[in-house]
Amino acid sequence: MPEDLSNMVTVSDAALVERARAGDRGAFNVLVRRHQVVVYRVCYRILGNGDDAADATQEALLRAYRRLDSFRGQSAFKTWLMRLTVNVSLNERERRKETVPFDESRAAAMPDPASDLARAEAATQLHQALQHLPPNHRAAVVLRDLEGFSYVETATALGVPEGTAKGWAHRGRVRLKELLT
């Protein structure tokens, strides 16, 4: 009989990771529920296609489960998960080497913290412009500006020094401004 997970809502990610490492699949399920929307958004913004983003989300979460023992706790679980997510997305994008059209119906179905871009036209323009950025700049802008990560979290998720993450985000913003104006 499945365990009632309602009492795990207030449990920290670190405690859930420890429980999941000990074999508690329910604890990992709670981690997935907590973070799957942001994982999907990052995949979608990097890949530009809803179906590819759904596949990459599943792959990132599967890798997280398989590699849970490699999580050392030196950063937040969410930051570690975002590093996996960005790597999976960038690898998938490199493998496909194509730009795909914006899927407005899929984007509208997912909650989006960038509510200022609620109008479909503005969101479409931003999304298309993101696809023209170099992958590292796009990932930095997505994590920092669209997902609200700090520069430290962005750098950790990308596996680069903080100054590099700042530079990538800055250059990405400058290029976006050129593309959008």
Tens-place pLDDT, residues 72-108: 888 899 999 999 999 999 888 888 765 445 555 554 5
On whether the CB atoms of residues 48 and 138 are closer than 8 A, the answer is no
Spell out the domain ranges in the chain.
8-180
On whether the CB atoms of residues 62 and 102 are closer than 8 A, the answer is no
Q: Which two tokens stand for residue 181?
A: 């104006």
When the pLDDT of each residue in the chain is averaged and rounded to a whole number, the result is: 84
Spell out the residues 6+ positions from residue 142 whose beta carbon is closer than 8 angstroms to its own: 42, 45, 46, 130
Question: What is the identity of the amino acid at 71?
Answer: F
CATH number of 8-180: 1.10.1740.10
pLDDT at 1: 34
**Does pLDDT of 17 surpass 80?**
yes
What is the pTM assigned to this prediction?
0.71
Work out the average pLDDT over 37-49. Answer: 92
Report CA torsion sign: 17, 55, 107, 157.
positive
